[in-house]
Protein backbone atom coordinates (compact mmCIF):
# COMPACT_ATOMS: atom_id res chain seq x y z
CA UNK A 1 0.00 0.00 0.00
CA UNK A 2 3.00 2.22 0.61
CA UNK A 3 5.07 0.66 -2.19
CA UNK A 4 7.45 3.26 -3.56
CA UNK A 5 7.58 5.21 -0.28
CA UNK A 6 11.10 5.53 1.09
CA UNK A 7 11.79 6.01 4.78
CA UNK A 8 15.10 6.87 6.42
CA UNK A 9 14.79 5.36 9.89
CA UNK A 10 17.10 6.87 12.51
CA UNK A 11 15.07 5.60 15.46
CA UNK A 12 16.53 3.88 18.51
CA UNK A 13 13.57 3.36 20.84
CA UNK A 14 10.46 1.15 21.05
CA UNK A 15 8.06 3.96 20.06
CA UNK A 16 10.27 4.77 17.07
CA UNK A 17 10.61 1.14 16.06
CA UNK A 18 6.87 0.48 16.32
CA UNK A 19 6.07 3.61 14.26
CA UNK A 20 8.35 2.62 11.37
CA UNK A 21 7.18 -1.00 11.59
CA UNK A 22 3.71 0.24 10.60
CA UNK A 23 5.25 1.79 7.48
CA UNK A 24 7.53 -1.15 6.60
CA UNK A 25 4.83 -3.77 7.11
CA UNK A 26 2.58 -2.01 4.60
CA UNK A 27 5.10 -1.75 1.82
CA UNK A 28 7.34 1.24 2.48
CA UNK A 29 11.08 0.75 2.02
CA UNK A 30 12.38 1.48 5.51
CA UNK A 31 16.16 1.76 5.82
CA UNK A 32 17.35 1.66 9.42
CA UNK A 33 20.52 3.59 10.07
CA UNK A 34 22.26 2.07 13.05
CA UNK A 35 25.44 2.69 14.95
CA UNK A 36 28.25 0.35 13.84
CA UNK A 37 28.92 -0.09 17.58
CA UNK A 38 26.13 -2.44 18.63
CA UNK A 39 23.38 -0.99 16.46
CA UNK A 40 19.91 0.08 17.50
CA UNK A 41 19.52 -0.14 21.31
CA UNK A 42 16.24 -2.02 20.66
CA UNK A 43 18.48 -4.96 19.59
CA UNK A 44 19.36 -5.37 23.27
CA UNK A 45 15.82 -5.55 24.69
CA UNK A 46 14.34 -8.78 26.10
CA UNK A 47 13.00 -11.34 25.53
CA UNK A 48 16.04 -13.00 24.01
CA UNK A 49 16.38 -15.90 21.59
CA UNK A 50 17.30 -19.04 23.46
CA UNK A 51 20.26 -20.16 21.42
CA UNK A 52 22.47 -19.70 18.40
CA UNK A 53 21.73 -17.34 15.58
CA UNK A 54 23.21 -14.01 14.70
CA UNK A 55 24.29 -12.01 17.75
CA UNK A 56 22.64 -8.86 16.40
CA UNK A 57 19.30 -10.69 16.37
CA UNK A 58 19.43 -11.89 19.94
CA UNK A 59 16.36 -9.83 20.85
CA UNK A 60 13.11 -11.46 19.82
CA UNK A 61 11.40 -8.12 20.50
CA UNK A 62 13.66 -6.46 17.92
CA UNK A 63 12.85 -9.20 15.41
CA UNK A 64 9.16 -8.45 15.88
CA UNK A 65 9.60 -4.67 15.71
CA UNK A 66 11.86 -4.75 12.65
CA UNK A 67 10.07 -6.95 10.13
CA UNK A 68 10.39 -5.72 6.55
CA UNK A 69 13.10 -3.19 7.42
CA UNK A 70 16.61 -2.89 5.99
CA UNK A 71 19.66 -2.12 8.08
CA UNK A 72 22.77 -0.18 7.32
CA UNK A 73 25.40 0.26 10.00
CA UNK A 74 26.75 3.76 9.73
CA UNK A 75 28.19 6.38 12.06
CA UNK A 76 25.91 9.38 11.57
CA UNK A 77 28.22 11.58 13.63
CA UNK A 78 31.13 11.12 11.20
CA UNK A 79 31.07 13.68 8.33
CA UNK A 80 31.44 10.94 5.71
CA UNK A 81 28.61 9.01 7.37
CA UNK A 82 26.42 12.09 7.47
CA UNK A 83 27.10 12.62 3.77
CA UNK A 84 25.65 9.18 3.02
CA UNK A 85 22.58 9.89 5.15
CA UNK A 86 22.16 13.14 3.23
CA UNK A 87 22.19 11.23 -0.06
CA UNK A 88 19.49 8.92 1.29
CA UNK A 89 17.40 11.86 2.45
CA UNK A 90 17.54 13.40 -1.03
CA UNK A 91 15.60 10.49 -2.49
CA UNK A 92 13.46 9.72 0.59
CA UNK A 93 9.87 10.64 1.39
CA UNK A 94 10.08 10.39 5.16
CA UNK A 95 12.77 10.71 7.82
CA UNK A 96 11.98 9.43 11.32
CA UNK A 97 14.23 9.86 14.34
CA UNK A 98 14.11 9.64 18.12
CA UNK A 99 16.83 12.18 18.92
CA UNK A 100 16.23 14.82 21.55
CA UNK A 101 16.74 18.37 20.28
CA UNK A 102 20.24 18.56 21.76
CA UNK A 103 21.42 15.40 20.01
CA UNK A 104 19.68 16.27 16.75
CA UNK A 105 21.32 19.70 16.85
CA UNK A 106 24.76 18.16 17.42
CA UNK A 107 24.23 15.82 14.48
CA UNK A 108 22.90 18.59 12.26
CA UNK A 109 19.59 16.83 11.74
CA UNK A 110 17.02 19.59 11.70
CA UNK A 111 13.97 20.21 9.53
CA UNK A 112 15.73 23.18 7.94
CA UNK A 113 18.74 21.07 7.00
CA UNK A 114 16.60 18.19 5.70
CA UNK A 115 14.42 20.59 3.71
CA UNK A 116 17.53 21.97 2.01
CA UNK A 117 18.28 18.43 0.84
CA UNK A 118 14.69 17.59 -0.07
CA UNK A 119 12.06 20.35 0.07
CA UNK A 120 9.12 17.92 0.27
CA UNK A 121 10.53 15.72 3.01
CA UNK A 122 8.36 14.62 5.91
CA UNK A 123 10.43 14.76 9.05
CA UNK A 124 9.02 13.04 12.13
CA UNK A 125 10.69 13.27 15.48
CA UNK A 126 9.40 10.87 18.14
CA UNK A 127 10.76 11.75 21.57
CA UNK A 128 9.69 11.13 25.16
CA UNK A 129 8.70 14.75 25.83
CA UNK A 130 8.84 16.57 22.51
CA UNK A 131 11.52 18.75 20.96
CA UNK A 132 10.86 21.80 23.15
CA UNK A 133 10.16 22.61 26.78
CA UNK A 134 11.87 22.07 30.13
CA UNK A 135 11.70 18.24 29.98
CA UNK A 136 12.88 17.97 26.38
CA UNK A 137 16.19 16.36 27.41
CA UNK A 138 14.74 14.14 30.13
CA UNK A 139 15.26 10.41 29.94
CA UNK A 140 12.27 8.14 29.85
CA UNK A 141 11.26 4.49 30.04
CA UNK A 142 7.95 2.62 29.95
CA UNK A 143 7.46 3.08 33.71
CA UNK A 144 8.11 6.83 33.83
CA UNK A 145 6.19 7.43 30.57
CA UNK A 146 3.15 5.67 31.99
CA UNK A 147 3.58 7.35 35.39
CA UNK A 148 3.73 10.83 33.92
CA UNK A 149 1.66 10.66 30.75
CA UNK A 150 -0.57 7.65 31.31
CA UNK A 151 -3.22 6.80 33.86
CA UNK A 152 -0.85 5.13 36.34
CA UNK A 153 -2.00 7.34 39.21
CA UNK A 154 -5.44 5.70 39.31
CA UNK A 155 -4.26 2.18 38.42
CA UNK A 156 -3.93 -0.14 41.41
CA UNK A 157 -5.50 -0.03 44.84
CA UNK A 158 -5.72 2.97 47.19
CA UNK A 159 -3.60 1.41 49.95
CA UNK A 160 -0.69 0.72 47.63
CA UNK A 161 1.61 2.44 45.13
CA UNK A 162 0.24 3.21 41.67
CA UNK A 163 0.74 0.36 39.22
CA UNK A 164 1.92 0.17 35.64
CA UNK A 165 0.50 -2.01 32.88
CA UNK A 166 2.36 -5.18 31.93
CA UNK A 167 4.87 -4.94 29.09
CA UNK A 168 5.58 -1.82 27.04
CA UNK A 169 2.00 -0.73 26.44
CA UNK A 170 2.58 3.04 26.62
CA UNK A 171 5.60 2.92 24.34
CA UNK A 172 3.80 0.80 21.74
CA UNK A 173 0.74 3.07 21.81
CA UNK A 174 2.97 6.12 21.40
CA UNK A 175 4.65 4.63 18.33
CA UNK A 176 1.28 3.74 16.84
CA UNK A 177 -0.05 7.29 17.24
CA UNK A 178 3.19 8.63 15.73
CA UNK A 179 2.50 6.44 12.69
CA UNK A 180 -0.93 8.08 12.34
CA UNK A 181 0.67 11.53 12.28
CA UNK A 182 3.24 10.36 9.71
CA UNK A 183 0.62 8.70 7.48
CA UNK A 184 -1.52 11.83 7.73
CA UNK A 185 1.42 13.91 6.50
CA UNK A 186 2.04 11.38 3.74
CA UNK A 187 -1.56 11.62 2.53
CA UNK A 188 -1.22 15.43 2.49
CA UNK A 189 2.08 15.21 0.61
CA UNK A 190 0.62 12.80 -1.94
CA UNK A 191 -2.17 15.32 -2.49
CA UNK A 192 0.46 17.90 -3.40
CA UNK A 193 0.56 19.81 -0.13
CA UNK A 194 4.30 19.35 0.40
CA UNK A 195 6.28 18.01 3.32
CA UNK A 196 6.01 18.63 7.03
CA UNK A 197 7.85 18.54 10.31
CA UNK A 198 6.18 16.51 13.05
CA UNK A 199 7.12 16.79 16.71
CA UNK A 200 5.63 13.80 18.50
CA UNK A 201 5.90 13.75 22.29
CA UNK A 202 5.13 10.33 23.78
CA UNK A 203 4.18 12.17 26.97
CA UNK A 204 1.48 14.11 25.10
CA UNK A 205 0.32 11.01 23.22
CA UNK A 206 -0.33 9.43 26.61
CA UNK A 207 -1.94 12.58 28.05
CA UNK A 208 -4.42 12.61 25.17
CA UNK A 209 -4.84 8.83 25.26
CA UNK A 210 -8.21 7.14 25.36
CA UNK A 211 -7.28 4.52 27.98
CA UNK A 212 -9.02 6.47 30.79
CA UNK A 213 -6.40 9.23 30.86
CA UNK A 214 -8.00 11.92 28.73
CA UNK A 215 -11.44 11.25 30.27
CA UNK A 216 -10.08 11.42 33.80
CA UNK A 217 -8.32 14.71 33.00
CA UNK A 218 -11.53 16.18 31.63
CA UNK A 219 -13.46 14.76 34.58
CA UNK A 220 -11.10 16.74 36.80
CA UNK A 221 -11.74 19.90 34.79
CA UNK A 222 -15.49 19.35 35.11
CA UNK A 223 -15.54 18.53 38.83
CA UNK A 224 -12.21 19.34 40.49
CA UNK A 225 -12.07 15.68 41.54
CA UNK A 226 -9.13 13.38 41.06
CA UNK A 227 -9.94 9.87 39.82
CA UNK A 228 -8.63 7.62 42.61
CA UNK A 229 -7.23 4.10 42.54
CA UNK A 230 -9.99 1.57 43.13
CA UNK A 231 -10.85 -2.05 42.51
CA UNK A 232 -13.08 -3.10 39.64
CA UNK A 233 -15.07 -1.39 36.90
CA UNK A 234 -14.81 2.36 36.39
CA UNK A 235 -18.55 2.84 35.99
CA UNK A 236 -19.38 1.20 39.30
CA UNK A 237 -22.23 -1.19 40.07
CA UNK A 238 -22.19 -4.98 40.02
CA UNK A 239 -21.43 -7.60 38.87
CA UNK A 240 -18.19 -5.97 37.75
CA UNK A 241 -14.52 -6.70 38.07
CA UNK A 242 -12.41 -9.84 38.22
CA UNK A 243 -14.00 -12.91 39.82
CA UNK A 244 -12.59 -16.39 40.42
CA UNK A 245 -14.12 -19.44 38.76
CA UNK A 246 -13.42 -23.16 38.54
CA UNK A 247 -10.24 -22.92 36.48
CA UNK A 248 -9.00 -19.39 37.05
CA UNK A 249 -10.52 -15.94 36.75
CA UNK A 250 -12.74 -13.92 34.45
CA UNK A 251 -13.56 -10.25 34.17
CA UNK A 252 -17.14 -9.05 33.89
CA UNK A 253 -18.69 -5.59 33.39
CA UNK A 254 -22.42 -5.90 33.90
CA UNK A 255 -23.39 -3.14 36.26
CA UNK A 256 -26.29 -0.91 35.18
CA UNK A 257 -27.59 -0.83 32.50
CA UNK A 258 -26.67 -4.50 31.95
CA UNK A 259 -28.07 -6.02 35.16
CA UNK A 260 -30.91 -7.95 33.54
CA UNK A 261 -28.54 -9.47 30.99
CA UNK A 262 -26.28 -10.66 33.82
CA UNK A 263 -29.23 -12.32 35.52
CA UNK A 264 -30.16 -13.95 32.23
CA UNK A 265 -26.57 -15.18 31.83
CA UNK A 266 -26.97 -16.95 35.19
CA UNK A 267 -30.16 -18.62 33.98
CA UNK A 268 -32.59 -16.21 35.65
CA UNK A 269 -32.33 -17.62 39.19
CA UNK A 270 -35.51 -16.85 41.15
CA UNK A 271 -33.62 -15.16 43.99
CA UNK A 272 -32.30 -12.50 41.58
CA UNK A 273 -35.65 -11.75 39.98
CA UNK A 274 -36.86 -10.11 43.18
CA UNK A 275 -37.66 -6.40 42.55
CA UNK A 276 -35.35 -5.27 45.35
CA UNK A 277 -32.38 -5.87 43.01
CA UNK A 278 -33.62 -3.29 40.54
CA UNK A 279 -34.89 -0.61 42.91
CA UNK A 280 -33.22 2.79 42.47
CA UNK A 281 -29.86 2.76 44.17
CA UNK A 282 -29.80 -1.04 44.58
CA UNK A 283 -26.76 -1.41 42.37
CA UNK A 284 -24.79 1.00 44.53
CA UNK A 285 -25.77 -0.69 47.80
CA UNK A 286 -22.75 -2.43 49.40
CA UNK A 287 -24.92 -4.82 51.43
CA UNK A 288 -26.73 -5.96 48.31
CA UNK A 289 -23.43 -6.33 46.52
CA UNK A 290 -22.18 -8.61 49.25
CA UNK A 291 -25.34 -10.68 49.04
CA UNK A 292 -25.07 -10.82 45.26
CA UNK A 293 -21.40 -11.78 45.32
CA UNK A 294 -22.18 -14.83 47.39
CA UNK A 295 -24.76 -16.02 44.87
CA UNK A 296 -22.53 -15.09 41.96
CA UNK A 297 -19.43 -16.80 43.36
CA UNK A 298 -21.36 -20.02 43.91
CA UNK A 299 -22.46 -19.83 40.28
CA UNK A 300 -19.00 -18.95 38.98
CA UNK A 301 -16.93 -21.40 41.00
CA UNK A 302 -18.80 -24.36 39.55
CA UNK A 303 -18.08 -23.23 35.99
CA UNK A 304 -14.98 -22.88 33.83
CA UNK A 305 -13.77 -19.67 32.23
CA UNK A 306 -14.91 -21.04 28.90
CA UNK A 307 -18.41 -21.93 30.12
CA UNK A 308 -18.86 -18.53 31.70
CA UNK A 309 -17.63 -16.77 28.58
CA UNK A 310 -20.04 -18.70 26.36
CA UNK A 311 -22.96 -18.03 28.71
CA UNK A 312 -22.03 -14.35 28.73
CA UNK A 313 -21.85 -14.11 24.95
CA UNK A 314 -25.26 -15.77 24.62
CA UNK A 315 -26.75 -13.16 26.97
CA UNK A 316 -24.76 -10.25 25.45
CA UNK A 317 -22.86 -9.68 28.67
CA UNK A 318 -19.33 -8.28 28.56
CA UNK A 319 -16.97 -10.93 29.93
CA UNK A 320 -13.36 -11.80 29.26
CA UNK A 321 -11.59 -14.92 30.52
CA UNK A 322 -8.23 -14.23 32.18
CA UNK A 323 -5.98 -16.12 29.81
CA UNK A 324 -2.37 -17.11 30.17
CA UNK A 325 0.00 -16.24 27.35
CA UNK A 326 0.00 -19.88 26.29
CA UNK A 327 -3.80 -19.73 26.06
CA UNK A 328 -3.36 -16.74 23.76
CA UNK A 329 -0.77 -18.26 21.45
CA UNK A 330 -2.69 -21.56 21.23
CA UNK A 331 -6.08 -19.95 20.74
CA UNK A 332 -8.25 -21.49 18.00
CA UNK A 333 -9.66 -18.18 16.79
CA UNK A 334 -6.22 -16.71 16.27
CA UNK A 335 -4.99 -19.93 14.68
CA UNK A 336 -7.91 -20.19 12.30
CA UNK A 337 -7.59 -16.57 11.22
CA UNK A 338 -3.80 -16.58 10.98
CA UNK A 339 -3.18 -13.89 13.56
CA UNK A 340 0.31 -15.25 14.26
CA UNK A 341 3.06 -15.80 11.73
CA UNK A 342 6.25 -17.85 11.79
CA UNK A 343 9.24 -15.86 10.68
CA UNK A 344 12.72 -17.09 9.98
CA UNK A 345 15.48 -14.56 10.36
CA UNK A 346 19.19 -14.80 11.11
CA UNK A 347 18.28 -15.33 14.76
CA UNK A 348 16.24 -18.47 13.99
CA UNK A 349 12.53 -19.24 13.64
CA UNK A 350 10.10 -17.18 15.66
CA UNK A 351 6.31 -17.14 16.01
CA UNK A 352 5.04 -13.56 16.39
CA UNK A 353 1.86 -11.49 15.99
CA UNK A 354 1.20 -10.83 12.30
CA UNK A 355 -1.11 -8.35 10.63
CA UNK A 356 -2.75 -5.77 12.89
CA UNK A 357 -5.76 -5.38 10.57
CA UNK A 358 -7.11 -6.64 7.26
CA UNK A 359 -8.10 -5.04 3.98
CA UNK A 360 -10.18 -6.52 1.17
CA UNK A 361 -7.41 -5.35 -1.13
CA UNK A 362 -3.72 -5.00 -0.31
CA UNK A 363 -2.47 -4.96 3.23
CA UNK A 364 0.10 -6.36 5.60
CA UNK A 365 2.73 -8.61 4.16
CA UNK A 366 5.92 -10.15 5.39
CA UNK A 367 8.47 -9.72 2.62
CA UNK A 368 11.65 -9.64 4.68
CA UNK A 369 12.42 -10.71 8.23
CA UNK A 370 14.26 -8.38 10.62
CA UNK A 371 17.72 -7.50 9.32
CA UNK A 372 21.09 -8.34 10.81
CA UNK A 373 23.05 -5.27 11.83
CA UNK A 374 24.42 -3.80 8.61
CA UNK A 375 22.85 -6.50 6.43
CA UNK A 376 22.02 -3.97 3.71
CA UNK A 377 24.99 -1.63 3.99
CA UNK A 378 26.56 -2.83 0.75
CA UNK A 379 23.27 -2.97 -1.11
CA UNK A 380 22.33 0.58 -0.14
CA UNK A 381 25.79 1.99 -0.91
CA UNK A 382 25.63 0.31 -4.30
CA UNK A 383 22.25 1.91 -4.98
CA UNK A 384 23.84 5.25 -4.19
CA UNK A 385 26.61 4.40 -6.67
CA UNK A 386 29.30 4.72 -4.03
CA UNK A 387 32.40 2.95 -5.42
CA UNK A 388 33.59 -0.17 -3.60
CA UNK A 389 36.93 1.51 -3.07
CA UNK A 390 35.29 4.35 -1.14
CA UNK A 391 33.17 1.90 0.79
CA UNK A 392 36.29 0.03 1.86
CA UNK A 393 37.86 3.26 3.10
CA UNK A 394 34.71 4.02 5.13
CA UNK A 395 34.68 0.50 6.48
CA UNK A 396 38.31 0.66 7.56
CA UNK A 397 37.66 3.98 9.25
CA UNK A 398 34.81 2.40 11.21
CA UNK A 399 32.22 4.70 9.64
CA UNK A 400 30.28 1.80 8.18
CA UNK A 401 29.96 -1.88 9.00
Partner 1 sequence: MTVAWAGPYATMLLADLGAEVIRIENVNIFPSMSRGMQARPSREFIGAQIAEVGGYPGREPGERPWNRCPFFNVHARSKKSVTIDIRSPRGLELLLKLAAISDVLVENNPMETLEKLGITWERLSAINERLIFARMPAFGNSGPYQGYRALGTHLEAFLGQTALRRYPDLDPSMNNTTFSSDFLGGTSAAQAVLLALMQRRKTGRGCLIEVSQAENALALMAEAILDWTENHREREPLGNRDELALQGCYPCRSDGTDKWINIRISTDAEWANLKRVMGSPEWADNPDFNDANSRRSRQDDIDIQIAEWTRDADAVELSRELQAYEVTAGPIIDHASAFEDEQLKDRGFFVPLSNEDCGEHLYPGAAWKSEQFPVQFDRGPVRLGEDNEYVYLELLGVSSDEYDRMKDEGALGTEYRL
Binding to partner 1 (CB under 8 A) within 58-117 occurs at 60-61, 63-65, 111
| Least spacing, CB of residue 199 vs partner 1, in Å | 4
| Backbone angles phi and psi of 124, in degrees to 5 | -115, 125
Range 137-196, binding partner 1 (CB under 8 A): 137-141, 143-145, 147-149, 151-157, 160-169, 172-173, 176-181, 183-188, 190, 193-196
d(CA 205, CA 201): 6
User: Segment near partner 1 (CB under 8 A), from 32-40, 211-219, 366-374, 378-386?
Assistant: 211-219
Cα separation, 169 vs 74, in Å, equals 30
Residue 108 or 232 having the CB closest to partner 1: 232
Query: From the CB of 3, what's the least distance to partner 1, in Å?
Result: 9
In the DSSP assignment, the letter for residue 191 is I
Closer CB to partner 1, 19 or 380, in the complex: 19
Question: What are the distances in angstroms from CA 166 to CA 38, 145, 170?
Answer: 27, 13, 10
Gap between the Cα atoms of 38 and 168, Å rounded: 22
Q: Say whether residue 329 binds partner 1 (CB under 8 A).
A: yes
Which of 82/203 has CB closer to partner 1?
Answer: 203
67 vs 71, beta carbon nearer partner 1: 67
DSSP line for 7-56: EEEE--SHHHHHHHHHHHTTT-EEEEEE-TTT--GGGGPSSBPSS-S-GG
In the complex, what is the shortest distance from the CB of residue 290 to partner 1, in angstroms, rounded to a whole number? 15
**Rule CB under 8 A: which of 357-386 touch partner 1?**
357-362
Residues 338-357 that bind partner 1 (CB under 8 A): 339-340, 350-353, 355-357
The DSSP element (H or E) to which 113 belongs, if any, is helix 111-117
Inter-CA distances, 366 with 7, 66, 147, Å: 17, 11, 35
In the list 37, 77, 328, 397, the residue contacting partner 1 (rule: CB under 8 A) is 328
Please name the residues in contact with 236: beta carbons below 8 A apart, sequence gap of 6 or more: 255, 283, 284
* Least separation in angstroms between CB 302 and partner 1: 17
Are 87 and 33 in contact by the 8 Å Cβ rule? The answer is no
User: In whole angstroms, what is the distance from residue 5 CA to residue 3 CA?
Assistant: 6
How many residues are there in the chain? 401
Q: Segment near partner 1 (CB under 8 A), from 76-84, 197-205, 367-375, 379-387?
A: 197-205
User: Given CA atoms 112, 115, 117, 122 in this order, what sign does their dihedral have?
Assistant: positive
> Which residues inside 220-239 make contact with partner 1, applying CB under 8 A?
220-223, 225-236
# residues near partner 1 by CB under 8 A:
155
Among 79, 119, 287, 333, binds partner 1 (CB under 8 A): 333
Indicate the residue among 52 and 79 with the shorter CB distance to partner 1. 52
Do residues 85 and 74 make contact, with C-beta atoms less than 8 angstroms apart?
yes
Closer to partner 1 at the Cβ: 168 or 377? 168
User: Footprint of partner 1 on residues 256-285 (CB under 8 A)?
Assistant: 256-258, 280-281, 284
Q: Which is nearer to partner 1, 274 or 332 (CB)?
A: 332
Segment near partner 1 (CB under 8 A); pick from 80-88, 91-99, 269-277, 334-342:
334-342
Decide if 373 contacts 39 (C-beta within 8 A).
yes
Residue closer to partner 1 by CB (options 324, 396) is 324
- Closer Cβ to partner 1, 170 or 399, answer by number: 170
Handedness of CA 349, 353, 359, 363 (dihedral sign): negative
Q: How far is the CB of 238 from partner 1 (least distance, A)?
A: 12
Amino acid sequence: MLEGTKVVDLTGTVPGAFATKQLADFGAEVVKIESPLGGDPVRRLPPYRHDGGDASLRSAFFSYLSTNKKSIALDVAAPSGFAIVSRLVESADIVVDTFTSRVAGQLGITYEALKDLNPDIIYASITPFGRTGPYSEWRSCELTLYGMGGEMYSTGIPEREPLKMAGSVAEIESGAVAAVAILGALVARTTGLGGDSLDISCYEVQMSGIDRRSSALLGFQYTGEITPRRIGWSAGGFPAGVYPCQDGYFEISAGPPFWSRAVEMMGNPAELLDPRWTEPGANANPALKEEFDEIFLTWALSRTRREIWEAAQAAHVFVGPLNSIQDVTDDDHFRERGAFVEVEDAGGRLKMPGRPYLFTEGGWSLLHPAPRLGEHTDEVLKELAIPTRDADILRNAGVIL
